[in-house]
A and B are shown apart, each in its own frame.
Chain A
Amino acid sequence: GDSVTQMEGPVTLSEEAFLTINCTYTATGYPSLFWYVQYPGEGLQLLLKATKADDKGSNKGFEATYRKETTSFHLEKGSVQVSDSAVYFCALSDAGGYNKLIFGAGTRLAVHP
């Protein structure tokens, strides 16, 4: 079945460092891909998405490119801030319809001043 694999955390960075969180997927068909972010004590918020191969999603300085040849959707940011500390989830849309999502295990990011 479809699945999403994320790099294990926690990831600890200093402010202004470059961030990469790896995400790879296994899927039938051509799913949409998503990154969600969860701040402490809150629900998940959509960070960015891509709906087809070579699409680049971007938001708040974060970017991810849908790479069909490597089945990857890695999240990057050029200069992280303390306020980016959160848990990040990669997800794909289930091919069965109904907009169902399959999530990775999540990667916790801690940014220190």
Chain B
Amino acid sequence: DAGITQSPRHKVTETGTPVTLRCHQTENHRYMYWYRQDPGHGLRLIHYSYGVKDTDKGEVSDGYSVSRSKTEDFLLTLESATSSQTSVYFCAISGKTSGEKPSSYNEQFFGPGTRLTVL
């Protein structure tokens, strides 16, 4: 268990409303990621972070923004939710260092997911 939680776990909202999803880790991993999972597409990267206040876009970033003000928290915001953003959202972490890089440095560990429905 890599100590990663997501909140909320389920959310139903209406088109046009803002939504924020939270990812919290307790393992001091350097990198954090947000993915969405849709049938037939596997997981697609939305945004990622490589340090506090350091973020960059992934493959499907349009309509999403992120923030990382602390090592342990990575927020995903949908400024104005649309029905096409109905999906399951996963947070992941990687890059834990302790002296020399452990063999698991490039592995990603996933949270339990948030199911978002936009009506």
Q: Which residues of A contact B (CB under 8 A)?
A: 4, 32, 34, 36, 42-46, 49, 51, 89, 93, 98-101, 103-106
Residues B94 and A99 in contact, CB atoms below 8 Å apart:
yes
Considering the complex of A and B, which 8 residue pairs feature the smallest CB-CB distances, nearest first?
Answer: A43-B110, A103-B42, A99-B94, A44-B110, A105-B42, A103-B43, A99-B106, A43-B112
When chains A and B are docked, how far (Å) is the Cα of A101 from the Cα of B33? 10
Q: Which residues of chain A are near B74, meaning CB under 8 Å?
A: none
Q: Which of B5-24 contact A (CB under 8 A)?
A: none
Residues A100 and B45 in contact, CB atoms below 8 Å apart:
yes
Q: Give the secondary structure class of B's interface.
A: strand
Q: Does B109 contact A (CB under 8 A)?
A: yes
When chains A and B are docked, how far (Å) is the Cα of A106 from the Cα of B108? 17
Count: A-B pairs, CB below 8 Å? 50
Interface size bucket, B side?
Answer: 20 to 34
Q: Which residues of chain A are near B106, meaning CB under 8 Å?
A: 32, 51, 93, 99
Choose among B31, B42, B95 the residue that contacts A104 (Cβ–Cβ < 8 A): B42
When chains A and B are docked, how far (Å) is the Cα of A53 from the Cα of B103? 17
Residues B41 and A43 in contact, CB atoms below 8 Å apart:
no
Q: Which residues of B contact A (CB under 8 A)?
A: 31, 33, 40-45, 48, 50, 56, 58, 90, 92, 94-95, 105-113
Q: Which residues of chain B are near A4, meaning CB under 8 Å?
A: 42
Choose among A36, A42, A93 the residue that contacts B112 (Cβ–Cβ < 8 A): A42
Closest to A103 in B: B42
- Name 24 A/B residue pairs within 8 A (Cβ), A-sorted: A32-B106, A42-B112, A43-B110, A44-B43, A44-B110, A46-B108, A46-B109, A49-B107, A89-B42, A89-B43, A98-B31, A98-B48, A98-B56, A99-B31, A99-B106, A99-B108, A100-B58, A101-B43, A101-B45, A103-B42, A103-B43, A104-B42, A105-B40, A106-B42
